[in-house]
Structure 1
Amino acid sequence: MRVWQWRAVLVVLIIVVADQWTKWLVVHSSLTQQSIELTPFLRLVYAENTGAAFSFLANVGDWGRWLLLAASFFICVILLVWLQRATRPIEITALILILGGAVGNVIDRVRQGYVVDFIDIHIGTYHWPAFNIADSAITVGAVVLVLVVFAGEKKDSE
């Protein structure tokens, strides 16, 4: 393994451990009974998400769980292959963030059949869907990856 690959494994492990640890804290706290207001726009809550992002496929039954689990494994394989071919550090970083988040949520789906979400951002009565550390890593990685891809396409067209 090359040095960057060892670092990638380390970052993925840090994301997974932070994600699982924070979820464990939430499950073993009073958040399962109540929410905690941290700021006027941020609360800690407890939510079981049986679906994908924004609870997509949440109410389709047990087959949805297996579909999401299979899709998650497939995406992890694609990310690993992409990582092997990636050359730009920013692209590698984005892929590592997405992979770490995906693994964190896969662990929940395998163990429990749902993902624990606990971060609730809101403005007034509008609430963003609850999310977790793994979702945050996936989102940041995806945004960076989109920017990298579009920046690469822009350079190619010039």
Structure 2
Amino acid sequence: MQVNHLKKWYWGLGMLFLIFLLDQISKYCILNIVNLPQKGSIPVIPFFNFTMVWNRAITFGMLGQFGSWGSVIFSVSAFVIAASLFIWMIRARKIWVIMSLGAIVGGALGNILDRLRFGAVVDFIHFHVAGWSWYVFNVADSAIVCGVIILLMDAFFGWEE
């Protein structure tokens, strides 16, 4: 391993831990400090609410029919994917690829921990405007989506270092 590559790998690991910590701290605050009602919403600004959702399925509530087995199936699947992405992160050369993979893995680990602790993922960020409402998500979901967008942009545009 080149020393230069090793330094880049640390950036990915740093991003992984940062996203994981931000995700878990935000969920702790929502569950223990904000005291968000289990079935309710707290308006923050006109287009943004804290809305409590226990997501027992995957994105947009898909595959929710697995019931109590869903938590186990989704946790194991997410862990296998996260481990594969972690290996990719270690081998990657481009700093933005390394950091976006770190963000994706950190987000995945945050959601896996929720499923293991609560049997569901804690979602609470809710944007809405003019009758249009985005799905409720969390910090981990945001990091995963942003990381995937960066990876797709790199794949399509082939950015150089």
Structure 2 length as normaliser, TM-score? 0.87
Pair 1:30-2:28 in alignment: no
In the alignment, which residue of structure 2 is the partner of 1:55?
Answer: 61
**1:62-107: CA deviations, max 9, x gaps?**
2222211111011111101211221111111211111111111111
In the other structure, the counterpart of 1:110 is: 116
Partner letter of residue 69 of structure 2?
Answer: W
- CA–CA distance in 1 between the matches of 2:9 and 2:93? 12
One of 141, 144, 150 as aligned partner of 1:138 = 144
Return the alpha-carbon distance in structure 2 between the equivalents of residues 7 and 136 of structure 1.
19
CA RMSD of aligned residues (A): 1.9
Whole-angstrom CA distance in 1 between matches of 2:37 and 2:25: 16
Task: Name the residue aligned to 1:65.
Answer: 71
Task: Look up the SS of the partner of 1:122 in the other structure.
Answer: strand
Runs of at least 5 residues in structure 2 that lack an aligned partner in the other structure: none
1:10 aligns with 2:6: no
Is contact 2:20-2:109 (8 Å) kept?
Answer: yes
Does 2:46 correspond to 1:46?
no
Aligned-partner residue type, residue 36 of structure 2: L
Cα offset for 1:131? 0.3
Partner of 1:96: 102
Report the AA paired with residue 25 of structure 1. Answer: C
Question: Comparing 24-33 with 106-115, which one deviates more in the overlay?
Answer: 24-33
Paired with 1:76 and 1:101, the residues of 2 have a C-alpha distance of 9
- 1:123 deviates by 1.8
Using the alignment, how far apart are the partners of 2:102 and 2:80 within structure 1? Answer: 16
* Helix, strand or coil at the partner of 2:128: strand
Which stretch of structure 1 is more off in the superposition, 1-10 or 103-112? 1-10
Q: Could you tell me how far 1:146 is from its partner in structure 2?
A: 0.6
TM-score, normalized by length of structure 1?
0.89
Which amino acid is the alignment partner of residue 28 of structure 2?
A: W
